[in-house]
Chains A and B, each alone.
Chain A
Amino acid sequence: MIDTIGNMAPAWLQAHAAALLVAVPLICAAINTFLNSGRLSWLVVMAVAAFSFVCSLVLLWQVQDGEVVRYALGGFAPPHGIEFRIDSLNAMFLLLVTGFGLVAAVCSWPTIKAEINPAKHSLFYSAYLVCLTGLAGVAITNDAFNLFVFLEISSIATYVLVAIGARRDRRALPAAFNYLIMGTIGATFFVIGVGFLYAATGTLNMSDMARLIPQSESPRAVQAGLSFIVVGLGLKLAMWPLHSWLPNAYAYAPSFVTIFLSATATKVALYAVIRFLTYVFPQEEAEAMLFAYVFAPLGIAAMVVCSFQAVFQTDVRRTLAYSSVAQVGYMLLGLSLATQTGIAASLLFLFNHALMKGALFMALAGVVLHFQGTQMRDMAGLGRQAPWTMTAFAIAALSLIGVPLTAGFQSKFALLSAVLEHGWPWAAFIIVATSLLAVIYMGRIVEAAFFRAPVNPDKVHKEAPLALLAPLWLLAIANIWIGVDASVPIGLAQAAAEAAIGSGAPAMMGGR
């Protein structure tokens, strides 16, 4: 299928897909601010997101045989000019971001109409397009400082998007402010790290850095840069002790924003970590220590602590937010193995998690349309009143738990085999144990929805509108389809992991 799309693409698109993928959303964001009609901006956003999605498909087609697409922006030759570099790893994340951008854009209109001041619809969509630009830019660029700029473009847009939730609940404002403080500190740490690397190598191009770091005369500066970058990106990706901004931001943001962010924002930061650790930095002692002694314990802490916290939340959105932090923990655990299987498992986990969390938050968006809150008690009896919405929710919940025949099972199975292959049976035990916690916290919600009478029978709940239901079911079916036949995402993740590890210095990877 991808071959037909690739062959159908006109020559200009094939040549410039990388630049257009980022430039078109950015330009349309500016144009969008002049539109007066929210519905019109919705159509523009859908068209732009679809175009970006096609661009990323074309890129995926171009790199599918392990090739690397390089695009020098403005015709300035790479070490000095900014360069976009796309291999299978980038292509997978671009596909995730733009694909999800498209699905979220389709379902956005009903929830936005209900939740956001009509005068601000176009501006809201502009902020969304800027956010999409930033996320795609992070996943495509090969310039360390450019990566920071894109990271901040997406983050600043995200703070705005979260704060707009204030119309429904004013707690969105302090949540957005906290996110702004934490996010800016994270980004600034990242810049300090890039500064150290620049001081040590004299280049900002990531391929050039990878080449020059082993020859660097000041390994101390490189190590300092590495630690600043890991902490900075750790804040952005909600690595366990640095996750405090996430639950509130997800809980009080407009539903549509939560759908989009849960599937993309933290994932893209994780991409940046993978890119830096496997590609830019040489695989030496310090990095191996970092993998084994930092990512593994923090990942496991996230899995255990945040799964427990998720059990005790009364707000369903907060339950899911804490569960997201816990899931980031699984991905870090996979990454901490520092083997190709480990990273492939981690990437598969990430891909499937985006599918299930997207579906869960989308179903909740349908709930929010009719009830203003997402308290646990609001869920009671919903299964009868809105069977379509809640069945999709239940499918995604089963997938999150990791029941066989769902996408979640495939990703947990891949992670378990990677961990066992690495000789960490205790980690496998923890994965299974925290999955049981997931049974508890997701089970509570599903049980309330299907087996309890509504607390307040006067409140009538209706089904979510079709624009929301269609993408929701698309994701739910994708969850089952991948559960039965996971060859597509596994192929993507394998190729991406190969690109991540194979292109760096392959020397040390292995049994560490």
Chain B
Amino acid sequence: MDFILERYNYWAIIGLMMIGLYITFQSGNLIKRLTGLSIFQTSVFLFYITLGKVTGGSAPILFGRDLKPHGGEAPTDVVAGAGAAHDAAGDVAGAVYGPVNGLYETYSNPLPHVLILTAIVVGVATLALGLSLIVRIREAYGTIEADEVAAIDLDTAIAEAADREQTEAAA
């Protein structure tokens, strides 16, 4: 039971993933399909974020209290600490302790956040393109239901075939 409860974040992600995929495949409405796709993608973003999360960790930025009280110059050991953190960032365990002025600051692994920032951009581009395709489909077919689009295509194909036969018979 603990095993399940401990990993509540993963269960939430799996739930979202399934909901997204189900909507994408089940729905006949193109907008709803795209919504499902977005939910599915978002669940993957959350998956990455949850991988990089360290309990009690904060964002990987230097706080004011880490700097020397006088002057704006960053002490050299902060820079060194940041470098060390950079090297360790590869560890998925995520907990990265950089010696900052003798203090140990816990922060979450920043790399998944960066990756997901990229993935979000890709997702937005896909979504925008999908929506504009739906606009074009609505203009061309007058509907955004997948079934109706397929039915219209079938009708046109049958009509075209009949048309061709007529013209060819005439010729």
Contacts and interface: CB of A to CB of B under 8 A. Distances in A.
B1 interface: no
A323 interface: no
A173 B140 contact: yes
Nearest to B48: A195
Q: Quick one: which of B24, B47, B136 has the most chain A CB within 10 A? A: B136
B19 interface: no
Q: Interface of chain A, helix or strand or loop or mixed?
A: helix
B141 interface: yes
B133 A195 contact: no
Nearest to A155: B126
Contacts of B92: 198-202
A184 interface: yes
Contacts of A199: 51, 92
14 contacts: A80-B87, A145-B118, A152-B126, A156-B126, A159-B133, A174-B146, A176-B133, A181-B130, A185-B21, A195-B47, A198-B92, A198-B112, A204-B115, A456-B167
A502 B142 CA distance: 56
A181 B134 CA distance: 12
Contacts of B89: 80
B74 interface: no
A181 B51 contact: no
Interface string A146-169: 001100100010011001001000
Contacts of A80: 86-87, 89-90
Contacts, number: 94
A150 to B, nearest CB: 11
B137 A184 contact: no
Contacts of A156: 122, 125-126, 129
A170 interface: yes
Contacts of A180: 126, 129-130, 133
Contact of A166 (B112, B115, B140): B140
A177 B119 contact: no
A455 interface: yes
Nearest to A458: B171
A268 B47 CA distance: 27
B153 interface: yes
B91 interface: yes
Contacts of A195: 44, 47-48, 51, 112
Contacts of B122: 149, 152, 156, 187
Nearest first, the 7 A-B pairs at minimum CB distance are A202-B92, A170-B140, A152-B122, A173-B137, A202-B90, A177-B133, A202-B91
Q: Interface of chain B, helix or strand or loop or mixed?
A: helix
Contact of B171 (A148, A171, A457): A457
A173 B41 contact: no
Contacts of A457: 171
B153 A181 contact: no
Contact of A181 (B33, B115, B136): B33
A91 to B, nearest CB: 27
B137 A456 contact: no
Given A148-B119, A170-B141, A180-B129, 12 more contacts: A79-B90, A152-B126, A166-B136, A173-B133, A174-B153, A177-B134, A184-B41, A191-B48, A202-B93, A203-B90, A377-B164, A458-B171
Contacts of B95: none
A160 B130 CA distance: 10
A181 B171 contact: no
Interface string A369-388: 00000000100000000000
Nearest to B137: A173
A117 to B, nearest CB: 13
A202 B41 CA distance: 22
A299 to B, nearest CB: 25
B16 interface: no
Given A79-B90, A191-B119, A202-B91, A163 B125 contact: no
A192 interface: yes
A9 B104 CA distance: 53
Interface in B30-86: 30, 33-34, 37, 40-41, 44, 47-48, 51, 86
Contact of B129 (A159, A166, A201, A377): A159
A199 B90 CA distance: 10
Interface string B127-171: 001100110110011000010011001000000000010011001
A456 B168 contact: yes
A188 B89 CA distance: 24
Contact of A173 (B40, B90, B136, B164): B136
Given A152-B122, A177-B30, A188 B41 contact: yes
A201 B126 CA distance: 29
Contacts of A79: 90
Contact of A455 (B21, B146, B168): B168
B152 to A, nearest CB: 9
B140 A145 contact: no
A34 B129 CA distance: 21
Contacts of A191: 44, 48, 119
A170 B143 CA distance: 13
Contacts of A204: 111, 115
Contact of A163 (B90, B136, B171): B136
Contacts of A171: 153
Contacts of A192: 44, 47
A177 B90 CA distance: 38
Given A177-B30, A456-B168, A163 B44 contact: no
Interface in A197-218: 198-204
B89 to A, nearest CB: 8
